[in-house]
Amino acid sequence: MDLNFNKNEDHNKLLLSELKQKFAKVKLGGGEKRIEKLHSEGKMTARERIAYLLDENSNSIEIGGFAGEGMYAEHGGCPCGGVVVKIGYVKGKQCIVVANDATVKAGAWFPITGKKNLRAQEIAMENRLPIIYLVDSAGVYLPMQDEIFPDKEHFGRIFRNNAQMSSMGITQIAAVMGSCVAGGAYLPIMSDEALIVDKTGSIFLAGSYLVKAAIGETIDNETLGGATTHCEISGVTDYKAKDDKDALDKIKSIVDKIGDYDKAGYNRIKAIKPALEPNDIYGILPKARNEQYDMMEIINRLVDNSEFEAYKDGYGQTIITGYARIDGWAVGIIANQRKVVKTKKGEMQFGGVIYSDSADKATRFIANCNQKKIPLVFLQDVTGFMVGSKSEHGGIIKDGAKMVNAVSNSVVPKFTVIVGNSYGAGNYAMCGKAYDPRLIFAWPSAELAVMGGTQAAKVLAQIEASSLKAKGEIIDEAKEDALFNKIKARYDEQTSPYYAASRLWTDAIIDPLDTRKWISIGIEAANHAPIQKPFNLGVIQV
């Protein structure tokens, strides 16, 4: 291995170490003292509940682990968005599990909590996956009620989705394992089947104190809305469990009897590991985001047996398109080529930039994959579309629009991996979050922004310097440098993969070596949902 490979490897493994350290902290939720308090009450934590529920030694992936990261500092923070979401297997059946984390503000709903719950429901609805709610929540976080309560994508949308999923025939199971109050009380009861844990679970529209204040009635919470009340008097819940494990065992038994699902029919054969060493990815991926590398070297370490059937190999070379298998699943791969390439006409094209010919190739490839019912995998390391008079006169806007059109109207499941840069309209064309990928996740090397930090900071610094000069301030070179560095530091923070993950612009930040697992689990989930409509590009300018 050369020196550059070793430097890249060291850098990327440091990023991976940082990821693991950050996630270890996230997994503590509200902290060890609050975990101990839960245990003293005879309750399991959200993560312990999910671990017990999911099949032992089976694969699972976590959605939104960094949701809320660095947000709401004035309110004490909201690690993991106050709710843990995983796709995994219960009695061999793939499910999505949503568990309130009662160590974080008693499981109260922050704005990001609502967004994460809606994302979990979106995944269930797109893939027709059974969804299991493990409820332990104090309800809406009142100091921020205006940001979580009234709008279309806020708290109330949860219950609308409950109703929609029920009409779609998607199984919903809820276990009330702690508080379940006010509007939140509708979630378990709008599920197909509801369980409640004796003595620790409670459901009511208003607790005992509010009942006393509102109508003068004196009553304790257990009598008002405990397990005995709702299983034997109101009939609101279907099963009473003696403790957390008993409730989770009942859920396992219910899931075990669910019938098989209609398959979408995506092609899968026996999986083969990549022939080339996947660990080499750490040394191939460059330390600096503006350095060149051959994306094929990455692809060959992700796909089965390192076999890739290129489509239009010699045309539109700044986008790689072709067929492969990942964990046995047939996929169509669309990847940004990050090395400078030479066209047949002898022209040089910059790596990571989308040109007219590469956009045209990608559009045709997307149509082919839709025709053949092959899921699409996008590997993003893109700085945007090519600019300048030659590109504009050649119709780059039209060709880019055709690619965006194809991505938007694609009916096969799409999966997006942000390997490196994800800038500007390149993010859109390569199936960014706005284009409904079934899963979108980033490597620690990822950056998401309208443009790169240096370019953006130069533009913003020039604008701010001009504004200050117009006010009569003297701006010398030292002040300009200080202004640039200040703006770049702020911009770089916003391009971080953690900034994106905290806001759920991506579903996760993962070890590159877990990419095959994420795509495989994602396609298996998508296989639950047969395609309902034909692929149609609509009106495009040829």
pLDDT in tens, 116-141: 999 999 999 999 999 999 999 988 88
- β-partners of residue 196 are 176, 240
* pLDDT tens-digit readout, 415-462: 999 999 999 899 999 999 999 999 999 999 999 987 666 766 677 777
| pLDDT confidence bin for 467, thresholds 50/70/90 | confident
Residues 268-292 have a mean pLDDT of 96
- The answer to whether 404 and 397 are in contact (CB under 8 A) is no
First to last CA, the chain: 47
Ranked by mean pLDDT, the top range of 332-336, 338-342, 420-424 is 332-336
Q: Across the chain, what does the average pLDDT equal? A: 92
pLDDT greater than 80 at residue 163: yes
What percent of the chain is modeled with pLDDT above 90? 74
pLDDT value, residue 130: 98
pLDDT greater than 70 at residue 194: yes
| pLDDT confidence bin for 1, thresholds 50/70/90 | low
368 token code pair: 């082919």
| pLDDT confidence bin for 221, thresholds 50/70/90 | confident
Beta strands, E only, 103-147: 131-137
| pLDDT confidence bin for 514, thresholds 50/70/90 | very high
- Global pTM value: 0.94
pLDDT value, residue 456: 67
Evaluate the CA torsion angle 447, 448, 450, 453 in order and state its sign: negative
pLDDT value, residue 526: 98
| pLDDT confidence bin for 181, thresholds 50/70/90 | confident
Per DSSP bridges, beta strands 376-382 and 193-197 are unpaired
Longest dimension (CA), the chain: 86
pLDDT greater than 70 at residue 169: yes
What percent of the chain is modeled with pLDDT above 70? 97
Residues 182-188 have a mean pLDDT of 78
* pLDDT tens-digit readout, 49-79: 999 999 999 999 999 999 999 999 999 999 9
pLDDT greater than 90 at residue 149: no
94 token code pair: 């793939």
CA 263/CA 275 separation, integer angstroms: 30
Residue type, 114: G
pLDDT value, residue 95: 98
Residues 361-383 have a mean pLDDT of 97
| pLDDT confidence bin for 213, thresholds 50/70/90 | confident
Torsional class of 220: left (φ above 0), alpha (ψ -120 to 50), beta (otherwise)? beta
* pLDDT tens-digit readout, 89-98: 999 999 999 9
pLDDT greater than 70 at residue 298: yes
| pLDDT confidence bin for 541, thresholds 50/70/90 | low
pLDDT value, residue 345: 79
Residues 503-530 have a mean pLDDT of 98
User: Which of the pair, 395 or 53, is modelled with greater confidence?
Assistant: 53
Residues 161-168 have a mean pLDDT of 96
CA 154/CA 165 separation, integer angstroms: 17
Burial class (CB in 10 A: 0-12, 13-18, 19+), 226: buried
Q: Provide CB contacts within 8 A for 265, sequence distance 6+.
A: 373, 527, 530
CB atoms within 10 A of CB 330: 19
- β-partners of residue 168 are none
Smallest Cα–Cα separation from 416: which of 330, 522, 321, 320? Answer: 522
User: Which of the pair, 395 or 194, is modelled with greater confidence?
Assistant: 194
H/E/C letters for each residue in 337-390? CCCCEECCCCCEECCCEECHHHHHHHHHHHHHHHHHCCCEEEEEEECEECCCHH
Q: Provide CB contacts within 8 A for 146, sequence distance 6+.
A: none
Ranked by mean pLDDT, the top range of 205-209, 386-390, 430-434, 471-475 is 430-434
